[in-house]
Chains A and B, each alone.
Chain A
Amino acid sequence: MTTVQTGIQPISTSRRVKDRIVHVLVYLAFAIAVIPLVSVLWLVIKNGMHRFDLEFLTHSMRNIGARDAGGGAYHAIIGTLEQVSLASLIAVPIGLLTAVYLVEYGSGGRLARSISFFVDVMTGVPSVVSGLFVLAFWILALGMPFSGFAGAMALSILMMPVVVRSAEEMLRLVPNDLREASYALGVPKWRTIVKVVLPTAFTGIVTGVMLAVARVAGETAPLLLTVFFTDSINNDPFNGPQMGLPLYVFDQAGRPTDTAIDRAWTGALTLILIVMLLNLVARLIAWWRSPAKRGS
């Protein structure tokens, strides 16, 4: 027979024990998740600091012999910055417009559902495949040269679904009340989107774009197949092989000398710093645009 308990009861021992166990499990999971993160960061900083100097940031690997010390990643930094900027230039407008279509115009129609499906498929495309695609289509079939731009195209294929998904989520968070308020003022739909919906979602969209940038900035495989390698500086992303920081790390780490291994660590550190710097800039932009800045 069960008795119905009434009144205020003390917490039972079994609940107390369960609470403890779950507490411990949660903290344990947190610790396990943080250990690899912190140790990777620590290792990269420890090993990378050694060569993190002015020469590294301002010189390429041109005329640096296999055993020579010195040399730097200037050509790779330039390459990564150009490739990632170009990739963002392609992926962000397309991704953003797709998200706007899905949220504001598609409204669950056939086209919207199939686009949504393909975006999901694209999210699962392995990075090598996007590189292979550009290699097969752009370089082999159309006969274009290896170039930073080809790499940017491969990266943009990887960026696009991330941008679409995060922007879509942010646009859906914009309350419908605001759209209706704008319509009720006699503002056409497209202006409502440009002046009310996008600014309201702006901070979230910037964060999503940064995540996408961070994801592709470290990609090696697609670059390997599309921008190829070089030890020299090539400022022109549309012509000839370029370097990228992930490629540089991959290349240097494969060499047998300690000086090369050191350069690889420093390359990795530089890449992390660049991504962090971009993040900081994005946060500043978001903060600068937010109404909170103007005080409340």
Chain B
Amino acid sequence: MAKQIEVAGLDAYYGAHKAIEGITMTIEPRAVTAFIGPSGCGKSTFLRTLNRMHEVIPGARVEGKVRLEDQDLYGPGVDPVSVRRTIGMVFQRPNPFPTMSIYDNVAAGLRLNGRFSKSELDGIVESSLKGANLWNEVKDRLQKPGSGLSGGQQQRLCIARAIAVRPEVLLMDEPCSALDPISTLAIEDLISSLKRDYTIVIVTHNMQQAARVSDKTAFFNLAGQGQPGKLIEMDETSRIFTNPGQKATEDYITGRFG
């Protein structure tokens, strides 16, 4: 079910401000692609253009092409809601629905989109929680509120919620930045196992993390304050971290940046 994403000549704006410019890349299926780059270079913005979440912000718009296999995501008549159903997202800060129990949180995407029988839901909730490595910790308190979990558990709950709707692609925006090393490790393990079924894109500020989990790495940078962010290079992770093609990439990953 994993699919390939092709991006060509993509620009994204916030009102009159151009945040990213001319991005062209191919994101491979059944692999983890990491986005790295300095703060403000447009990684989150680019990630959000991939599932049409960018246009949710008032005044924000996108130019260029994004293709999921043979489908143009920004083509005329494409429903952004169905795009988001196909391309799931996990946010930087865990954001479980506070009014819902753990069970309802995982079932939310399914319930809000259609009808499922109780037994179907039970099965999907269990497999999603298992997929997110959370089942053993919460199986006895599925009816308790999701906000009663620890930060790391909440983040895994959000991952379970995202995979419960069976997306083809999973986008993660710094999913571990609010977590301790143990929870981070749990989520990294999870990413490695999810890779079998999904196309995964992860934004991270943690070089070791990018090196550990990803197959491909893309480095973004901006020329200066107020300039749009650009893709500097994208290659096999092992190459980016040992023998990058660009001087800027080498400076960034070795910490000689700015």
Contacts and interface: CB of A to CB of B under 8 A. Distances in A.
Interface string A264-296: 000000000000000000000000001110111
A295 B145 CA distance: 8
B246 interface: no
B184 interface: no
A271 B193 CA distance: 64
Nearest to A185: B109
Interface string B119-152: 0000000000000000000000001110110000
A195 interface: yes
Contacts of B82: 186
A178 B84 contact: no
A207 interface: no
Interface stretch (B29-37, B157-165, B199-207, B227-235): B157-165
B98 A200 contact: yes
What range describes how many residues of B lie at the interface?
Answer: 20 to 34
A186 B93 CA distance: 19
Nearest to A109: B58
Contact of B51 (A181, A184, A187, A292): A184
A196 B95 contact: no
B139 to A, nearest CB: 16
B109 A187 contact: yes
A183 B53 contact: yes
B98 A181 contact: no
B113 interface: yes
A114 interface: no
Interface in A186-219: 186-188, 191-192, 195-196, 199-200, 202
Contacts of B89: 184
B56 A182 contact: no
A83 to B, nearest CB: 33
A296 B145 contact: yes
B179 interface: no
Given A175-B95, A186-B84, A296-B148, A181 B158 contact: yes
A186 B113 contact: yes
B144 to A, nearest CB: 6
B53 A185 contact: no
Given A291-B101, A296-B148, A187 B91 contact: no
Contacts of A294: 101, 143-145
B84 A185 contact: yes
Nearest to B158: A181
B112 interface: yes
B97 A181 contact: yes
Nearest to A188: B81
Contacts of A295: 144
A185 B99 contact: no
Contacts of A55: none
B145 A184 contact: no
A187 B112 contact: yes
Given A184-B53, A185-B84, A291 B109 contact: no
Which are the 3 A-B pairs with shortest beta-carbon distances?
A186-B85, A185-B109, A296-B148
17 contacts: A177-B91, A180-B95, A181-B91, A181-B95, A181-B158, A184-B51, A184-B84, A184-B162, A186-B85, A186-B86, A187-B113, A188-B81, A195-B108, A200-B97, A290-B99, A291-B101, A292-B145
Interface of A: 107, 175, 177-188, 191-192, 195-196, 199-200, 202, 290-292, 294-296
